[in-house]
């Protein structure tokens, strides 16, 4: 008995002592790496200069919509299907004829080169390795041409619809030449949002000195120096697509960014969207849809997909959470063949299952992959996708589903307060 008892204690102590050794030597313990997306965000915050981190983390005005994106997922509860054999599970989805290994797509984000020199090369490479889509922003640090040459996976291209067709047409042509499979037109940015946090830090175009950024230099000179080195080693605030098309004129990075913002004209209408439809032969999506009425107008213009999104709460504060708007949009487009995606607030595998149950075919994540980039370059983005995909597979088993297509409204409970006037026909 004594031998068994002490032998058991020895077996228990051995891995604990090994963990202690790793912690003492700085190599960490069994949970040394990020376990979830919030851990990735925290790691990015520790490793990043405050200025670029706050740019990604900021939102418009009082952050009402930004907070709602996260909180509203908590209001949806799950209804598992137990007594089901789920030893084999398939998390793939099919979008526009292409089967993807994951329902998680990487959303377009502007100027990730301010976070890490690899920028979109890291994001697109991680997406390709995970069997999913990377969406190149019109304001990307590297040009879509360079990204396509470096990363062989499927690419989509995001277009800001400047009011003048002569200005945005070169970008449509650029995306086509690079072999992008789909075009995503962002509709919710006729003008820039009122992001007061960016104005306080001076992280605007052109940049300005402020108490916050001067204080960052004084408090964290080493971290600030690393960030300056990152800007020098990579694309920094340069916009690759802008430089390649030459639409804004000049190659100076600050000049590009300043002119880029000046090009926004609140004059993009359904007529211009129909023009883009005629120009683009592949799948056409619009991003920024939050109501049934918007969805119907987009369908009438001939789009193939809509992305339910409020721009991460970075544009108009007071919009509904993306997941709260999702059922209304999905119902309005039911039976039309238009694909519905969700962007905004996704941080967990359960968030993804809830979105798919409420009518999305797939989800997009923006801030999470940029946090991964800031935390560790390409390995950091790999980690973000691994975390989300692992959670999806685990949650599928816990939900009792073998494929994502088994999800539906029967899979969730939605608050009665989410009810809306049923949309009419298309």
Q: How far apart are CA 350 and CA 341, in angstroms?
A: 16
Q: How far apart are CA 271 and CA 315, in angstroms?
A: 23
Q: How far apart are CA 22 and CA 15, in angstroms?
A: 11
Residue 86 · residue 397 · CB < 8 Å: yes
* Strand (E) or helix (H) holding 350: helix 349-357
Catalytic residue check, 311: yes
DSSP string, 374-415: HHHHHHHHHHHHHHHHHHHHHHHHHHT-SBGGG-SGGGEE--
DSSP for residue 108: P
3-state SS assignment for residue 346 = coil
206: cis peptide before it, omega within 30°? yes
Among 65, 43, 44, 40, which residue's Cα sits nearest to residue 53?
Answer: 44
Neighbours of 10 (CB within 10 A): 10
Longest CA–CA span in the chain (Å) reads 85
Catalytic residue among 66, 142, 299, 311: 311
Which residue pairs from 340-343 have beta carbons closer than 8 angstroms and sit at least 24 positions apart in sequence?
Answer: 340/305, 340/306, 340/308, 341/105, 341/285, 341/305, 341/306, 341/307, 341/308, 342/307, 342/308, 342/309, 343/107, 343/287, 343/307, 343/308, 343/309, 343/312
Instruction: Point out the residues that are catalytic.
Output: 311
């Amino acid at each position: 008995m004594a031998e068994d008892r002490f032998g058991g204690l020895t077996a228990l102590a051995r891995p604990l002592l090994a963990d202690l050794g790793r912690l003492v030597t700085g190599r960490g313990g069994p949970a040394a790496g990020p376990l979830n997306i919030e851990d990735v965000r925290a790691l990015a915050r520790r490793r990043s200069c405050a200025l670029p981190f706050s740019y990604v983390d900021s939102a418009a005005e009082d952050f009402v919509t930004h907070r709602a994106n996260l909180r509203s997922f908590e209001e949806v509860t799950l209804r598992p299907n137990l007594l089901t054999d789920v030893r084999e599970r398939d998390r793939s989805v099919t979008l526009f004829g292409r089967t993807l290994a994951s329902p998680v797509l990487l959303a377009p984000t502007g100027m990730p080169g301010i976070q890490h020199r690899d920028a979109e090369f890291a994001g697109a490479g991680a997406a390709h390795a995970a069997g999913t889509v990377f969406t190149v922003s019109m304001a990307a640090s590297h040009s879509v041409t360079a990204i396509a040459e470096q990363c062989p996976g499927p690419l989509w291209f995001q277009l800001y619809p400047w009011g003048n067709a002569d200005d945005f047409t070169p970008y449509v042509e650029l995306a086509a030449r690079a072999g992008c499979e789909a075009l995503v037109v962002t509709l919710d940015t006729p003008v820039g949002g009122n992001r007061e946090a960016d104005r306080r830090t001076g992280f605007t175009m052109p940049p300005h000195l402020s108490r916050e950024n001067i204080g960052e230099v004084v408090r964290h000179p080493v971290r600030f120096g690393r960030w300056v080195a990152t800007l020098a080693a990579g694309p920094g605030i340069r916009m690759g697509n802008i430089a390649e098309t030459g639409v804004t004129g000049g190659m100076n990075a600050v000049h590009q960014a300043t002119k880029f913002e000046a090009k926004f004209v609140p004059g993009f209408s359904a007529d211009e969207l129909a023009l883009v439809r005629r120009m683009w032969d592949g799948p056409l999506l619009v991003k920024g849809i939050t109501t049934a009425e918007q969805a119907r107008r987009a369908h009438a213009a001939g789009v193939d997909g809509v992305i339910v999104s409020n721009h991460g709460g970075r544009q108009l504060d007071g919009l509904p959470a993306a997941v709260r708007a999702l059922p209304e949009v999905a119902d309005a487009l039911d039976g039309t063949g238009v694909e519905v995606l969700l962007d905004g607030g996704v941080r967990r595998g359960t968030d993804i299952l809830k979105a798919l149950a409420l009518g999305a075919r797939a989800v997009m994540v923006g801030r999470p992959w940029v946090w991964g980039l800031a935390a560790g370059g390409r390995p950091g983005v790999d980690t973000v996708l691994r975390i989300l995909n692992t959670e999806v597979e685990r949650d599928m088993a816990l939900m009792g589903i073998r494929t994502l297509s088994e999800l539906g409204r029967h899979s969730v409970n939605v608050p009665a307060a989410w009810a809306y006037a049923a949309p009419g026909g298309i």
